[in-house]
Structure 1
Amino acid sequence: MPDGTPAGLDLATLRADLADVTGERPEDIADDDDLRDLGLDSIRLMSLVETWRARGVKVELTDLVEIAPVPTLRSWAAHLAP
């Protein structure tokens, strides 16, 4: 962002990033899919967190794990939205 404030992560960005680490096609990932069923494991999750931190998003691995009993794009987007 122009003022130096990092943007949050919207659904489209989350979906694209998740597809990148899992090898899924973005259009095959629904907002309410259990991300663990798509191959998201702790190593891939750590990779996502590092990618987002590099973009200036303040995110902690533990936050993503604790957001909801079932990790979904929808639950993450609500937490990581701009």
Structure 2
Amino acid sequence: MTLTLERIRTDIADCLGEEPADIPVDENLVDYGLDSVRIMALLERWRREHGVQADFADLAEQPAIEAWAPLLGVA
């Protein structure tokens, strides 16, 4: 199963207790309440379910969906 931009957005929204439409793809997710513990939990989930090879430090450095997409293998 391939990870998609919408799946990333939905997973983040679920983690934050928000609607996916309320999560922008181009803004800093820390401003929406995403912290390092949640980033790690999401990354572990994507590794397990989608075979993602991304590094936590790379995601934490640029916490925006559009920055994460290429790191997570989303075209």
Relative to the length of structure 1, the TM-score reads 0.77
Q: Is the 8 A contact 1:32 1:73 kept in 2?
A: yes
**Aligned partner of 2:59: which letter?**
L
Gaps of 5+ in 1: 2-6
Tell me the number of residue pairs that the alignment of Structure 1 and Structure 2 aligns. 73
**Percentage identity across paired residues of the two chains:** 47
What corresponds to 2:70 in structure 1?
Answer: 78
Across the aligned residues of Structure 1 and Structure 2, the Cα RMSD in angstroms comes to 1.5
State yes or no: 1:30 paired with 2:30.
no
Larger RCO, structures 1/2 (Cα 8 Å, 6+ apart): 1
Structure richer in helix, relative to its length = 2
Gaps of 5+ in 2: none
- Secondary structure at the aligned position of 2:52 is classed as coil
Query: C-alpha separation between the residues in 2 aligned to 1:79 and 1:42?
Result: 17
> Shift of residue 60 of structure 1?
1.7
Cα-to-partner distance string for 1:22-79 (whole Å, 9 max, x where unaligned):
111101111112100111001101110110111122122112123x3xx211111132
Larger radius of gyration: 1
Relative to the length of structure 2, the TM-score reads 0.83
State yes or no: 1:64 paired with 2:59.
yes
Moved more, 29-38 or 56-65: 56-65
Q: 1:16 aligns with which of 10, 13, 24?
A: 10
Which 4+ stretches in 1 moved above 2 angstroms?
Answer: none
**Aligned partner of 1:27: which letter?**
A
Q: Is the 8 A contact 2:11 2:42 kept in 1?
A: yes
